[in-house]
Amino acid sequence: MGRTELNVLSKLDGAKTQLYHFTAIVITGMGFFTDAYDLFSISLVTKLLGRIYYYDPSYPAPGILPPNVAAAVNGVAFCGTLAGQLFFGWLGDKLGRKSVYGFTLLLMVLASLASGLSFGHSAKGVMATLCFLRFWLGFGIGGDYPLSATIMSEYANKKTRGSFIAAVFAMQGFGILVGGIVSLIVSAAFNDRYHAPPFSQDPAGSTVPQADYVWRIILMFGAVPAALTYYWRMKMPETARYTALVARNAKQAAADMSKVLQEEIREDDTELAEQPTVADDWGLFSPQFARRHGIHLLATSTTWFFLDIAYYSQNLFQKDIFSKVGWIPPAGSMNAVEEVFRIARAQTLIALCGTVPGYWFTVAFIDVIGRFWIQVMGFFMMTVFMLGLAVPYHHWTTPGHHVGFVVMYAFTFFFANFGPNATTFIVPAEVFPARLRSTCHGISAAAGKAGAIVGAFGFLYASQGKALAERDRGYPAGIGIRNTLFVLAASNFLGLAFSLLVPEAKGRSLEEMSKENEGEDEFVMDKAP
């Protein structure tokens, strides 16, 4: 037999949209703002790091990071993120969402500040310190994924839950945008104050000593928004669903939510809170979980994995793509700080025109269209636009067609965010039982970061041309940008195929989706529409 639903959970599901919803979005969303800023700001300064620390007077081109260093600098934060998602996802179910929520933010603040203070007597020392600190930055960021998603899903009402979780994730778009804006301001200020000739005129003088401050300031700024929300994050009460369903204290859950909803909620049935839920009878590795949610976990993990291969490859290395299609001038025609400005300007335009609007389209339509159809549509359109870049690639690289390339490229970001980049974050927070929700979201997110690691390390090498003149110094021959775009299109198509396993949660309560109130004889597996 199923259990009777707790009054406090019914109140949350039916609550009208009010101030506490928006407060929760801002508090949890600022963590994601910081996550995106910290993860993607590194792509704005990697070329500068190469000029500062790996300049070779005997070589007729600006210094670049060696292949192994570039891979480490770009990818080590993702390794930390993957570990953090698994660890804090598990810990969020064991100790409670709030108990570990403040620690992840504090770790992000400290590691972000420390990254900008990376020290060493040699280039190798500075890069090793930077990579070590960015691993721990990623570890804190990793914890924010399952905890923020779970907290927002458990606070929201069932009518607009998708929009609320999507709004939290949409702060990622603003983080990417602000990363570009901060880089523009810092680089413009330094370039104006410390004039330097382009590399072609004065190789050594094109990188002024003060340029070393530019990347440090950009990375350290990521600590500011996180630090500003720490106090409010610590004041959030534990979610009612964790308190009632996992900690089994329905009266405390009712008391906490009475303050949040500003109305009295009574939970008189104390025996109900003491009864074990069906979910308490089995664990993550049990046959029951495999039968009830195995397909769900496979769907949320694989779709996130294939998405992040393409999404992070595009985000981290768009500067290289823009250079190769001619939208950013040749490195030799600029000084070091000016190059940062040009890269930041290009990435800011992409974020402004494609990335940010895509997130907010999801916020507007997810509870109208549904998670399943938005994810399927997004993967399909990403595949189409990626093929639209790859098939006529040589056309896009010719003079006069660069704007068309950028427009097509922006559309892939738009449909990533009005599509699977948002829904892969939302669905795992809705379909699993309360006592395993954070863990399963962490596993799904970690699968995504495994895809990001594949993208960060693989794209760096794969995008190099076959001819020596078509690849960066020190890199082995790759398959080229065009063929790499075909690989990313294939990754999007595989994400589309696995999306057919994703269940639809629109308009349904979390307990209805997770079947926490149903016994084995009542259970029926959810299927996609």
Query: Exposure of 174 by Cβ count < 10 A (0-12 exposed, 13-18 middle, 19+ buried)?
Result: buried
Residues of the chain with pLDDT under 50: 1-4, 269-279, 521
**520 in a structural domain:** no
Residue 106: partners with Cβ closer than 8 Å, 6 or more residues away: 140, 230
Instruction: Sort residue 59 into left (φ over 0), alpha (ψ -120 to 50) or beta.
Output: beta
Say how far apart CA 487 and CA 217 lie, in whole Å.
35
CA-based nearest residue to 386, from 419, 344, 346: 419
Q: How many CB atoms lie within 10 A of CB 359?
A: 25
**277 in a structural domain:** no
Asked whether 111 and 56 are in contact (CB, 8 A), the reply is no
**pTM score, whole prediction:** 0.88
Q: Report H helices in 399-433.
A: 402-417, 420-426
For residue 270, what pLDDT is reported? 47
Domains held by the chain: number: 1
Instruction: Sort residue 365 into left (φ over 0), alpha (ψ -120 to 50) or beta.
Output: alpha
CA-based nearest residue to 154, from 77, 233, 96, 102: 96
**406 in a structural domain:** yes
H or E, element range at 464: none
Asked whether 346 and 318 are in contact (CB, 8 A), the reply is yes
**435 in a structural domain:** yes
Q: How many CB atoms lie within 10 A of CB 59?
A: 12
Say how far apart CA 207 and CA 211 lie, in whole Å.
7
CA-based nearest residue to 72, from 457, 447, 451: 457
Say how far apart CA 416 and CA 425 lie, in whole Å.
12
For residue 405, what pLDDT is reported? 80
pLDDT digits (tens, 9 = 90+) for 261-311: 777 777 654 444 444 444 456 788 888 888 889 999 999 999 999 999 988
Q: For residue 34, what are the domain limits?
A: 8-268+284-514
Q: At 334, is the secondary structure helix, strand, or coil?
A: coil
Question: In the block, which residue shows the tokens 């930055």?
Answer: 137
H or E, element range at 231: helix 223-235
Q: Which amino acid, 115? A: S
**279 in a structural domain:** no
- The CATH number covering residue 247 comes to 1.20.1250.20
**352 in a structural domain:** yes
CA-based nearest residue to 45, from 186, 199, 193: 186
CA-based nearest residue to 261, from 463, 481, 13, 55: 13
Query: Exposure of 235 by Cβ count < 10 A (0-12 exposed, 13-18 middle, 19+ buried)?
Result: exposed
**386 in a structural domain:** yes
Question: In the block, which residue shows the tokens 């020290």?
Answer: 119
Asked whether 401 and 395 are in contact (CB, 8 A), the reply is yes
Say how far apart CA 337 and CA 343 lie, in whole Å.
10
pLDDT digits (tens, 9 = 90+) for 44-98: 999 999 999 999 998 888 999 998 898 889 889 999 999 999 999 999 999 998 8
Rg (CA), the chain: 24
Question: In the block, which residue shows the tokens 């069932």?
Answer: 158
Residue 420: partners with Cβ closer than 8 Å, 6 or more residues away: 303, 304, 307, 375, 378, 379, 382, 495, 499
* Cα angle 526, 93, 132; round to 5: 115
Instruction: Sort residue 480 into left (φ over 0), alpha (ψ -120 to 50) or beta.
Output: left
First to last CA, the chain: 27
- Cα 336 to the center of its chain, rounded Å: 29
**455 in a structural domain:** yes
E strand segments, 323-365: none
